[in-house]
Amino acid sequence: MLQIVRTVSDLRALIAERRKAGQRIAMVPTMGALHEGHLTLVDAGLAAADEVVVSLFVNPTQFAPGEDLDRYPRDEEGDRAKLETRGATILWAPVPTEMYPDGFATSVSVGGPSEGLETEHRPHFFGGVATVVTKLLLQALPDVAVFGEKDYQQLQVIRRLVTDLNIPVEVMGGPTIREADGLAMSSRNAYLSADERAAAPALREALKRAGRAVLEDSSPPQAEAAGAEHLAASGFHKVDYIAIRHADSLAAVTPHDIASGVPLRVLGAAHLGKTRLIDNLDPRSET
Amino acid sequence: MLQIVRTVSDLRALIAERRKAGQRIAMVPTMGALHEGHLTLVDAGLAAADEVVVSLFVNPTQFAPGEDLDRYPRDEEGDRAKLETRGATILWAPVPTEMYPDGFATSVSVGGPSEGLETEHRPHFFGGVATVVTKLLLQALPDVAVFGEKDYQQLQVIRRLVTDLNIPVEVMGGPTIREADGLAMSSRNAYLSADERAAAPALREALKRAGRAVLEDSSPPQAEAAGAEHLAASGFHKVDYIAIRHADSLAAVTPHDIASGVPLRVLGAAHLGKTRLIDNLDPRSET
């Protein structure tokens, strides 16, 4: 049975009750509009704990003016049904005033892995994410929290902040779930026209090409350029970045780093029409 | 018996053990060099809980270059003896690398009550304080944390951040403890020469004069100027501020606010030789 809570005090009371019964608690933070990618994170939570709290909050502070806050897909009824079927036990769906009451004045910011990539194109994004994720984790205090690898830079930023602030929660990454043609599932895929949808798998293909190129001796800039060229040729009209980075710190890597086997990640973000898509992969296991 | 712990994992294991035994936990964060002011906070913690964790960490990130980090008084042996006598049960004395490990990249910042006053003169101070206090509270997760009213703006900043980040800890203020002549106890009083020590009580007297003046119909700027004049006449060579503020938000107040009874606080900071002293009081109960 999925229980729905709307206030922090109700959430804490419910979790305290479950813990008293010996239950281990996982949390999956989401902005709703749930698809198979989110539901796989619920599976991962149920594998690591007895109960899963899913939070559903479209966080206004991580959208810049002019981004898609207003048209971001919302479907709480549909989300509830999916979560119930999948075995989540608590839906934490706060009203905005419960998250940001009058006089709210605190923010969490993370350097290190948040530098570059998304931050170059969405400068306010990780400030908003870091603050709301800190709040969500401290509201629920789960044993473990699961975040999708689809938002890979976000996952590394969250790992950093949880370590740095000593938040007593274990962070787990969950795998990216893909459509049959390789497109990473995302709530924003709903924005794509039929033609854009047909072109969208080129993002993953571009990441694979960049990954193969850098493992076959191209320099990182050459390999990144090869990936970007594939996107341009496939109908993407603007490439924010294709980047080959250290998988943990997201620092740039040299050919020497690559030859010595440091963990790598290829990350990309690009625009199809009005829609911005992101994806990433491990070039040693996925190309 | 006072137990000393040096790592977060030992701290958490010890607190978990005490909680399992049904104990309620209070925390008193300090930078050591303990005096009666700190020990009164330990008393307040023991009144509110069964056990008191005292943290002892001279936090480098809240000192600016050129401030007194290097000469800040340190006396762990003496502190241990005082805490043992007073009934504290856990001394949390981390090594700096346990607090700020390699790659540390996160900071917490608070607007609202941190604006002006101390921030005008020590612009990095509350950023350092907010980050380290968030860490200390999340390391120990006490039921209640006690902070001295002596650092009144800091107390309001901490109340704001605990509310805003949903840190599951109750914040309590503890009273300022004074020498017989009214000087607020402070680790920094140890820096004062005999002449400076004789002049130091003028800070409290200046706050009282400002408070009386504003309650007797002076405008806040007039009352603040009267306080500052008393300091200058008493041998203080630089007044950072004497300020009459709303006691919770620390916003400026108008004569109309004062007449309608909003809670007030008079705060001051000024220099005697190389030593900077701060103090504050409630003008309605202490003048």
CATH superfamily of A3-174: HUPs (3.40.50.620)
Specify the pLDDT at position A286.
84
Residues of chain A contacting residue B141, judged by C-beta atoms under 8 Å apart? 168
- CATH 3.30.1300.10 positions along chain B are 187-281
Report the candidate in B129, B110, B83, B92 with the shortest Cα–Cα distance to residue B15.
B92
CATH placement of domain A187-286: 3.30.1300.10
Is the CB of A110 less than 8 angstroms away from the CB of B105?
yes
pLDDT tens, residue by residue, B123-134: 989 989 999 999
pLDDT tens, residue by residue, B198-249: 999 999 999 999 999 999 989 999 999 999 999 999 999 999 999 999 999 9
Residues of chain B contacting residue A97, judged by C-beta atoms under 8 Å apart? none
pLDDT tens, residue by residue, B74-117: 999 999 999 999 999 999 999 889 999 999 999 999 999 999 99
Span B187-281 CATH architecture: 2-Layer Sandwich (3.30)
Interface confidence (ipTM) of the complex? 0.95
Q: Which residues of A touch B (CB under 8 A)?
A: 8, 12, 101, 103-114, 130-131, 134-135, 138-139, 141, 160-161, 163-168, 249
DSSP state of A71: T
Report the candidate in A209, A211, A182 with the shortest Cα–Cα distance to residue A198.
A182
Confidence at A138, pLDDT banded by 50, 70, 90: very high
Specify the pLDDT at position A227.
97
* Catalytic residue status for B237: no
Burial classification of residue A162, based on how many CB atoms lie within 10 Å of its CB (0-12 exposed, 13-18 middle, 19 or more buried): buried
* Tokens describing residue A83: 């979560």
SS (H, E, C) chain B: CCEEECCHHHHHHHHHHHHHCCCCEEEEEECCCCCHHHHHHHHHHHHHCCEEEEEECCCHHHCCCCCCCCCCCCCHHHHHHHHHHHCCCEEECCCHHHHCCCCCCEEEEECHHHCCCHHHHCCCHHHHHHHHHHHHHHHHCCCEEEEECCCHHHHHHHHHHHHHCCCCCEEEEECCCECCCCCECCHHHHHCCHHHHHHCCHHHHHHHHHHHHHHCCCCHHHHHHHHHHHHHHCCCCEEEEEEEEECCCCCECCHHHHHCCCCEEEEEEEEECCEEEEEEECCCCCC
User: Do residues A129 and A57 make contact, with C-beta atoms less than 8 angstroms apart?
Assistant: no
To which residue do tokens 């996952």 refer? A155
- CATH 3.40.50.620 positions along chain B are 3-174
Alpha carbon of B117 to those of A44, B209, B239: distances in Å? 49, 19, 11
Alpha carbon of B238 to those of B149, B224, B231: distances in Å? 23, 14, 9
Active site residues of A: 38
- CATH 3.30.1300.10 positions along chain A are 187-286
Sign of CA dihedral B114, B119, B122, B123: positive
Specify the pLDDT at position B286.
84
